Amino acid sequence: ETGVTQTPRHLVMGMTNKKSLKCEQHLGHNAMYWYKQSAKKPLELMFVYNFKEQTENNSVPSRFSPECPNSSHLFLHLHTLQPEDSALYLCASSLPHKGSGNTIYFGEGSWLTVV
């Protein structure tokens, strides 16, 4: 238990479906992240939120839409995805300080399969 909880753990959706991934952190952090982990690729940063404001969008297609209603919750809304979007989506949180030692804590991930 890392203090970052993701639901659902597994999701299968069709290309025309709309679904959402949810993330909640109980660590008192103010920065939250979405990462994508595919086979044979390094972890890819998708979005960063600091104090509920989006501070990084790493050229992510608009079919992925993040939402951060408060510092403890983060959503990833999914719409008209492609099979190549199938991956493990990891949420993470941290204290938003700059410089050295910025430790981030990951959730257990949501396995997404697009059919």
Partner 1 sequence: TQLLEQSPQFLSIQEGENLTVYCNSSSVFSSLQWYRQEPGEGPVLLVTVVTGGEVKKLKRLTFQFGDARKDSSLHITAAQPGDTGLYLCAGGGNAGNMLTFGGGTRLMVKP
Query: Which spans of this chain sit near partner 1 (rule: CB under 8 A)?
Result: 2, 4, 6, 31, 41-43, 45, 48, 50, 55-56, 90, 92, 94-109, 111
Q: Can you list the positions of beta strands (E) in the chain?
A: 4-7, 10-13, 18-25, 31-37, 44-50, 53-57, 64-70, 73-79, 87-94, 104-106, 110-114
- Considering the complex, what minimum distance in angstroms separates the CB of residue 80 from partner 1? 26
Tracing tokens 């404001």 back to the chain, one arrives at 53
Residue 101's φ and ψ, nearest 5 degrees, are 70, 30
Can you tell me whether residue 83 is helix, strand or coil? helix
- Considering the complex, what minimum distance in angstroms separates the CB of residue 36 from partner 1? 11
**CB-nearer residue toward partner 1: 50 or 80:** 50
- Considering the complex, what minimum distance in angstroms separates the CB of residue 16 from partner 1? 27
Q: Which region, left, alpha or beta, applies to residue 80 given φ > 0 means left and ψ of -120 to 50 means alpha?
A: left
**CB-nearer residue toward partner 1: 1 or 16:** 1
- Considering the complex, what minimum distance in angstroms separates the CB of residue 13 from partner 1? 19
**CB-nearer residue toward partner 1: 75 or 111:** 111
**CB-nearer residue toward partner 1: 84 or 98:** 98
